[in-house]
Amino acid sequence: MIKILHTADVHLDSPLRSLALRNAGLRETVAAASRAAFSQMIDRALSEEVAAILISGDLFDGRERTARTGAFLLAELDRLAEAGIQVYYIKGNHDAENPITGTLDLPQHVHVFDARGGKHQLSEDVWIHGVSFAESHAPESLLPRFKAPVAGAVNIAMLHSSLAGAAGHDVYAPCSVSDLAAMGFDYWALGHIHKRQIHAEAPWVVMPGIPQGRDIGEAGPKSATLLTIEQGQIALSEVPTSVVEFVETELDVTGAANDEALRATLKAHLSVLSAALVAPTGVVRLTLKGAPARHWQILRDRDVWTEQVHVLAQTCGDLWIDKLIFDLAPEAAQDTSGASDELAATMATICGEPGFQEHARQYVETVLQDLPATLRERLIADEAARDALVARLTQAGADRVLAQMKGAES
């Protein structure tokens, strides 16, 4: 029996992104999250006594990495060498643009496949094949660079690829699952897409996903894949790896008749989330929905509720709030003849006036100029995105004013 651990997209020292990182205590945890996740994989490899670890691209995270990243990696690889564990590594798009990749003198037990492709014998009846990226872009299929599988053996192929494409990921080394199946390999150890997915079982086509999520867009527990090969058959199991788990969740608070009931509802929900975490630390983006009786008071006091939720999260375990979103509606049966409703109609009219809209756009543009370019690009990819942002901010401001008046009236 032979065991092999398959991972990809480690992105060593990639910065985690979250509003909750403004908290100094959490920053210390997440600053080393990608390293801690990698160390956990090494621990598991040692405890499982695996024969090899497969790293299917993007071990590093781009040009900004430092020599400290390399020093950490070498120390972890030494742990594997002492246990006689082989490492097989192909370079992905981030590795190809990383200066460390080309200068780091990796130990002899680390087998790096080059862009021409190659194969290496792990044991008497297991062969590992792989092809690396030569540059940061690979617009064409890399399948022609693979050598034929070895007859009578278990053949594992390593490929960094977007397959037929995936939302949020650039197209790299494109190919289809049927293309992979036709190659004759027993297991495709893929990388690049950060969400775990088993695309096929005969042969196995496995995307292990990122071992440590980096923001709320990579929510949920993360893992690596453990292969157990016995008598020519491959069985898989999932190995948890993340040390920080991002969670996106909604809570209907319609039934909360008063503040005490709302606090109890929030605490119960956060307790359930904390108990369900796979990683030791959770970062939560919580959206409050529904039509509670105290709708206007909750919106009026949103800053107070935000602070209360932060405190409640900490009482429920190692849980942090990334963002609290108020998506609440007033109760259906409400009097709409008061002064605040007249103000609401007036604000709606003003928001629709061309002069006001132009002023709002100019104001938002001025504020955006003070933001880092990468964040600015994420917020406003084009004019349509900018106008949508202006509309959201304008409506949010009107709602805030209305909440102050409605809350006082109630």
Are 129 and 165 in contact by the 8 Å Cβ rule? The answer is: no
Query: Domains plus CATH for the chain?
Result: 2-242 (3.60.21.10), 245-409 (no CATH)
Distance CA 281, CA 244 (A): 5
H or E segment at 5?
strand 2-7
Task: State the distance between the two ends of the chain, measured CA to CA, in whole angstroms.
Answer: 71
**pLDDT digits 0-9 by tens, 6-49:** 999 999 888 777 766 777 778 878 878 999 999 999 999 999 99
247: β partners: 284
pLDDT of residue 168: 57
Q: Which two tokens stand for residue 155?
A: 């053949």
Residue tagged 């401001």 (tokens): 397
Supply the pTM of this predicted model: 0.84
Q: CB of 236 within 8 A of CB of 204?
A: yes
What one-character DSSP code corresponds to residue 219? -
Note the Cα 201 to chain centre separation in Å. Answer: 25
Residue 2 has phi, psi (to 5 degrees) of -125, 135
- pLDDT for 331 equals 74
Give the pLDDT score at 351. 86
Query: In the structure encoding, which two tokens stand for residue 101, read together?
Result: 């990749």
Query: Which of 137, 121, 142, 118 has the alpha carbon at shortest distance from 129?
Result: 118
Q: Are 223 and 239 in contact (CB under 8 A)?
A: yes
Residues of the chain scoring pLDDT < 70? 19-20, 62-65, 96-103, 136, 165-170, 332-338, 374-375, 406-410
Per-residue pLDDT tens digits for 325-372: 999 988 765 555 667 778 778 888 888 889 998 998 888 888 888 877
Under a CB-based contact definition with an 8 Å cutoff, are residues 165 and 154 in contact? no
CA dihedral sign of residues 123, 124, 125, 128: positive
